[in-house]
Structure 1
Amino acid sequence: MPDNSSGPLQEGIFTGSGMGFVGEVELEVHFLRESPDSHPLIGQIRTLQSDEVREYWNRVIKELKPQVIDRQSTDIDTLTGATESSRAFLEAVENAMDKAYETK
């Protein structure tokens, strides 16, 4: 999980990338406020680019994406049989979170 010592996440859309089994994946992560007084939360994750084996990537999206959004964390176990694709997904989300922390 990224170091959030610089403060809360910034609202907005940030991209992140991670290296999978086949190659790099790129995600778009939306950080949204539920109310004007709340800190932004991960609200949506969208695949921009992935050359991962479709069967494995679809599993990652189906199983890991809701967990990341529900837990607001990337501290999640990878999927057996789709380990590298899982790692790429989580790395890309973390990369986007790092950018959201850096933006002022």
Structure 2
Amino acid sequence: MRVFIIKSVNLLIVAGILALYCINVHKVGEEKKAIAEKTDKKEVVSDSGNNIYFADDGIYEGSGDGFGGEIKVRLTVKDNKLEKVEILSAENETKDYLESAKKILDDVIDKQLVDVDTVSGATLSSNGIISAMKDAIKNGKKKSNDSAF
């Protein structure tokens, strides 16, 4: 009986800690999203550390260094969510590496995260795409989105 009581108390403590953590994470994420919506800041880190919140819908472009040189990307944002990621140019990238690295684009959209896992065998090209997306988020100029939607 004593073991049962000890295990029950431990279970309640763990459940309480988990509940408090979830409540706090949710509050922090909502506060940061509200800040993004009230300011001109285009990206705010959320509860998981890498979620993307945009203050403005639109099209953002950025660049990063991949295996063969500069990679340029375009991010399309609608309803404060990343809707589409396109590679605009990667002229000096090895075609096979770039094609493998493009697999991360679906992960970025699905997870709404920029820091996704790189593709094994195409790490430098993957890092170039990730770097270009971060550049678009932080420094990219908002383009007209009239034709995008």
Question: Shorter-chain TM-score category?
Answer: 0.7 to 0.9
Shift in alpha-carbon separation, 1:47–1:3, aligned structure 2, 3 A: closer
Please say which structure displays the higher CA radius of gyration. 2
TM-score, scaled to structure 2: 0.56
Query: Quick one: which of 58, 65, 84 aligns to 1:44?
Result: 84
Percent of matched pairs sharing the same residue: 28
Q: Which residue does 1:13 correspond to in 2?
A: 59
Do residues 22 (structure 1) and 71 (structure 2) align?
A: no
Question: In proportion to residue count, which structure has more helix?
Answer: 2
Alpha carbons 2:43, 2:137 under 8 Å: kept: no
Paired residues in the alignment total 92
Counting only pairs closer than 5 Å after superposition, residues 49-68 of structure 1 correspond to structure 2 as 49-50=89-90, 51-61=92-102, 63-68=103-108
By relative contact order (CA 8 Å, sep 6+), the higher-ranking structure is: 1
Question: In proportion to residue count, which structure has more strand?
Answer: 1
Q: Which residue identity is paired with 2:121?
A: G
Q: Runs of 4+ in structure 1 displaced over 6 angstroms?
A: none
